[in-house]
Amino acid sequence: MTKSSKAIYKKGDAFSKLAKARGFRSRSALKLLEVQKKDNFIKPSSRILDLGSSPGGWSQVCLQIVGKKGFILSVDKKIMEPLKGVNYLNKELEKLKESDFENFDENILPFDVVLSDIAPNISGISERDDALMNSLLLGIRSCLDNFLKEDGNALCKVFHGESFDNMMIYMKTNFQKVKIRKPDSSRANSKETYILGMGKKK
Ligand SMILES: C[S@@+](CC[C@H](N)C(=O)[O-])C[C@H]1O[C@@H](n2cnc3c(N)ncnc32)[C@H](O)[C@@H]1O
């Protein structure tokens, strides 16, 4: 390990410890907190769809913001341990359909905010990882088209490369404002970055 990669891992560890100390289920929670602090794109009482939610760090952050008046639906193909105040669906995002949103006390469609922290299992082979990310983002775009309200906001994880370029085209076409975010708590040597879209167009 080189000196600079050692430093990056040390910093990553510090963020993991901080997330744990603050009671979050994942280090990722700190990334959402950072973006929220800067952009304030989740409002109290928002209805939120959290795609790729497990183990639940982002859902915990959402819960702190939206309180009892909001609504959170977390979706993951992996089991997520129950989180009081958060609804959970064990499903692949590509299989989500309108009827999945019907069995709740209130009418939850369309959502005010859609989040995606989804990434494929990384192989280290750039072309393969990018192709997998591209295909996941197709499913995410379909969720944004179908389940996010007009004027709603979205935050999506992407990798630098073709998937980033394709997602940027989609976001710029469909949102009034688009910002790129790389939180400090995201490892500097990781390919991940986040695209924030604010104000979904008609
Ligand atoms: C980086 S983790 C999310 C961490 C989460 N934001 C948190 O703070 O705890 C990515 C998640 O995406 C889920 N995932 C990957 N592909 C998926 C798919 N096609 N449908 C639903 N979930 C998926 C994985 O199971 C994994 O739990």
- Residue 55 beta carbon below 6 angstroms from any ligand 1 atom: yes
Ligand 1 close to Cβ of residue 57 (< 6 A) = yes
Instruction: Give the confidence band of 190 by pLDDT, cuts at 50, 70, 90.
Output: confident
Give per-residue pLDDT as tens, 85-104.
999 999 999 999 999 999 88
10 Å CB burial of residue 113 (0-12, 13-18, 19+) is: buried
Query: pLDDT digit string (tens) for 106-163?
Result: 889 999 999 999 988 888 888 888 889 999 999 999 999 999 999 999 999 998 888 8
Domain that includes residue 98, residue range:
3-200
Q: How far apart are CA 139 and CA 49, in angstroms?
A: 14
CATH code, domain carrying 178: 3.40.50.150
| Residue 174 near residue 200 (C-beta atoms within 8 A) | yes
Distance between Cα 76 and ligand 1 center (Å): 6
What is the average per-residue pLDDT within 73-86?
97
Q: Of these residues, 10, 69, 157, 182, which one is catalytic?
A: 157
Mean pLDDT, rounded, of the chain: 93
- Domains contained in the chain, number: 1
- Residue 89 forms beta bridges with which residues? 75
Q: What are phi and psi of 31, to 5 degrees?
A: -65, -45
Q: Residue 159 pairs with which residues in a beta bridge?
A: 192
25 lines ligand 1 (CB under 6 A): yes
Residue 23: the pLDDT is 96
Is the pTM higher than 0.85?
A: yes
